[in-house]
Amino acid sequence: MSAADLHDLLKRLRSLPAETEVVEFKEAKASFDFAELGRYFSALSNEANLAGKPDAWLIFGVKDKGRSIVGSRYRSNRADLDCLKHEHEIAEQTTAQISFIEIHEMPLPEGRVVLFQIPAAPKGIPVAFKGHYFGRNGESLSALNIEEIERIRAQTTQEDWSVGICLDATIDDLDPIAIAKARQNFINKFPDKAADVGGWDDIAFLNKAKVTLKSKITRTAIILLGRPESEHFINPSEAKIRWILKDAKGNERDYHIESCPLLLAVDKIYDKIRNLKYRYLKDGTLFPDEVLRYEPFVIREALNNCI
């Protein structure tokens, strides 16, 4: 965020008629209690989630009443300020080790202002500090009530991420070999439709298979059938399978990564897995039987379940 953007942001926040659930001003002229900072982090993060905002702001060096700038010497050494974010001081005490998006400093004629940019709680995951959930009751810091906790937790059941549309993606972003394999798998599962499948173009087939939605490319289509370079459509998520070979001491000896299309990646990863043969003699014969250590179906099922 540029200096001009920060000035505009601060001006806009100071002009608010009152503090909101996602904006808090503190004088913090010399210092500020760390536990109190953590509680505000939890509260503002949770309230940003509930308000549908991407972030919330805790601002030091500005009076709540009147919004005059008084300046703050809180952690005036930049390295000390960065420790809150980069050395995980806050993250060590929060749910999922969530920390600040950024901590901005503004040296102004009236004094230094510090703006803490706090991320909204992830969907379905209320943010706690030291095991306690905090929220806001008007302008006051309070415990996050049970209804709000459950409202955040219920978010994971309200939205199917996989059905989301990748707006700029087209059928050209899908791998034709993966689509061909998907057709064959579809026929294997629904042999009575084999005669029909041949007459469907790719989009018609994918609609019938419920991989695309009204001819639009979904995240599912990208993950299962997308070309490797199409993974960017699901940013910041990623679609990768990592195979790692370790020796008896746990040291990494080799690795291999497969990206989209994951429908084809399963076979490539399966070929990397060492499935050694065991030989044993049955009673009454000199001819050994050979069996694989793992049933191939079990390995493939595990990979497919992860996807």
Dist. CA 29–CA 32, nearest whole Å: 8
Position 286 confidence tier, pLDDT thresholds 50, 70, 90 = confident
Q: Which two tokens stand for residue 52?
A: 């549908």
Q: How far apart are CA 283 and CA 293, in angstroms?
A: 21
Contact 58, 41 (CB under 8 A): yes
Task: Supply the pLDDT for residue 291.
Answer: 83
Which residues pair with residue 119 across a beta bridge? 55
Confidence of residue 274 (pLDDT cuts 50, 70, 90): confident
Contact 251, 162 (CB under 8 A): no
Which tens digit of pLDDT belongs to each residue from 139-161?
889 999 999 999 999 987 767 88
Does the predicted model carry a pTM greater than 0.85? no
Beta-strand relationship, 23-26 and 55-60: parallel
